[in-house]
Amino acid sequence: MSAIIQEPYPASKRSEIFDQMHESSNWLTIEYDGWHLPATEEPKEDCGKWLTKGCLDYLEHENCNHGKEHYGKVFVKSFQKSCYRAACMTCCKKWLARESNKSKRRIEKYEKKSKKNVKHIILSVPRWEHYTPKKDLAKKAYKILKEISCIGGCIVFHSFRYNRDVKEWYYSPHFHVRGFGWIENVVACYQKKGWVVKNKGTRESTFATIYYILSHAGIKKHNHSLIWFGDLSYSKLKVEKEPEINQCPCCSAKMVLVFHYGLGGWMPPPETEFECWCDPDSWHIVESTSYSNSSRNPRPWDRKEGYEGIGSVIKCV
């Protein structure tokens, strides 16, 4: 019996299977020892709510070197509130996208540094160890990764597998790894310990593969879904912080909550993504004690000129 399989596949082709898995009869109910699947808990009150942020400092925009189209304009951008919890029915996909993006940046940083390609590895727990506590299974998984010459990567625990014939999930603990190394001695490892190691090889997209792996990962309170180890651990590999997305693209000021209140009254934010430069009339700032009051970026309502209406401090209730 062979314990190694190599078969590169594009993660994007798994989208149909992913949809089928979420339509299974027991996605919301299957549980073992506190472990469950993502997107099984009710959202918080504000999850998914659409709001608008912006920079209303149009006088500062006149001093920017980004083109005359910004002169006398304010910048506004919609966003959707999220708790970024894996268990949230509404915000799970936001969590998936954020974690996949962070993982992609970390893996690509190491690929560029090491000149090595990342591999998708699966470690399957033998049946006689299925009901061993996850903490102990993880320790064994790290030892096996060391024995097969996996020098680092990220590891994700899966508590369940999907039966496509009956369209149901069942308990079967295993680990998915995005790792680096030669990946050798897998047959000897299987014969010695009973753990099956599958080397799935490379993938077309790191982002899509991580997204797919996390989409049905084991979720439990006080447990991390994805852990970095070896050469890619936080102590060994430093990755630059993600670009700030809450800044004005013109003056780099921190954007704040804003709303539109014109002749027709309050206009609710559209329930879709948008960003634009527009006339300052009727745009107001929601009251916030955290807004910067530095000399470089004074609060709009502290200025006495040019902010009729815009400088109003409106408390959002």
pLDDT at 23 over 90: no
Tokens standing for residue 267: 């206009």
**DSSP annotation string for 189-219:** HHHHH--EEEEEE-BS-HHHHHHHHHHT--B
Q: Which of 212, 221, 164, 272 is nearest to 41 (CA)?
A: 221
Q: Which residue shows structure tokens 């997204």?
A: 211
Place of tokens 């925009």: 61
Residue 300 above 60 pLDDT?
no
Average of pLDDT values for 258-274?
A: 88
Q: Are 17 and 208 in contact (CB under 8 A)?
A: no
Which residues make Cβ contacts (< 8 Å) with residue 208, sequence separation at least 6? Answer: 10, 11, 12, 100
- Using CB atoms within 10 A of its CB, is residue 251 exposed (0-12), middle (13-18) or buried (19+)? buried
Q: Which residues of 262-281 are buried (b: 16+ CB within 10 A; e: fewer)?
A: eeeeeeebeeeeeeebeebe
What is each CA distance from 307 to 216, 231, 250, 254, in whole angstroms?
51, 53, 19, 18
Q: What are phi and psi of 257, to 5 degrees?
A: -65, 130
**Rounded-to-5 percentages of helix, strand, coil across the chain:** 25, 30, 45
pLDDT, residue 72, reads 85
Instruction: Provide the pLDDT confidence category of residue 64 given band limits of 50, 70 and 90.
Output: confident
Angle at CA 33, nearest 5°, toward 212 and 229? 50
Using 50, 70 and 90 to split pLDDT, how confident is the model at 269? confident
pLDDT at 93 over 50: yes
**Residue 101: strand, helix, or coil:** helix
The model's confidence at residue 7, banded by pLDDT at 50, 70 and 90, is: very low
User: Where residue 67 falls among pLDDT bands split at 50, 70, 90?
Assistant: low
Is pLDDT above 50 for 316?
no
Question: Do the beta carbons of residue 209 and residue 203 sit within 8 Å?
Answer: yes
pLDDT tens track for 191-211: 999 999 999 999 999 999 999
Using CA atoms, how far apart are residues 168 and 25, in angstroms rounded to an integer?
6
For the segment 83-90, the average pLDDT, to the nearest whole number, is 96
Highest mean pLDDT among 30-34, 239-243, 268-272: 30-34
- In 28-137, the DSSP E strands lie at 50-55, 74-80, 119-124
Ranges of H-type helices in the chain: 15-22, 58-61, 92-114, 134-147, 186-193, 206-215
Parallel, antiparallel or unpaired: strands 256-262 and 226-230:
unpaired
CB 140 within 8 Å of CB 134 = no
Q: Does residue 243 register a pLDDT over 70?
A: yes
Q: What is the pLDDT of residue 96?
A: 95
How many percent of the chain have pLDDT more than 70? 83
Kindly list the domain boundaries of the chain, sorted by start residue: 11-42+83-230, 50-81+255-314
Q: How confident is the model at residue 298 (pLDDT cuts 50, 70, 90)?
A: very low
Q: For 130-169, write each residue's pLDDT tens digit.
A: 999 999 999 999 999 999 999 999 999 999 999 989 989 9
Q: Which residues are bridge partners to 265 per DSSP?
A: 262
What is the rounded distance in angstroms from the CA atom of residue 181 to the CA atom of residue 97? 26
Please give the pLDDT value at position 17: 59
> Residue 310: which pLDDT band, with cuts at 50, 70 and 90?
very low
In whole angstroms, how large is the CA radius of gyration of the chain?
Answer: 25
Model confidence, pTM: 0.81
Residue 6 has pLDDT above 50, yes or no: no
The model's confidence at residue 15, banded by pLDDT at 50, 70 and 90, is low
3-state SS class at 104: helix
Note the pLDDT of residue 61: 85
Q: Span 213-232, mean pLDDT?
A: 97
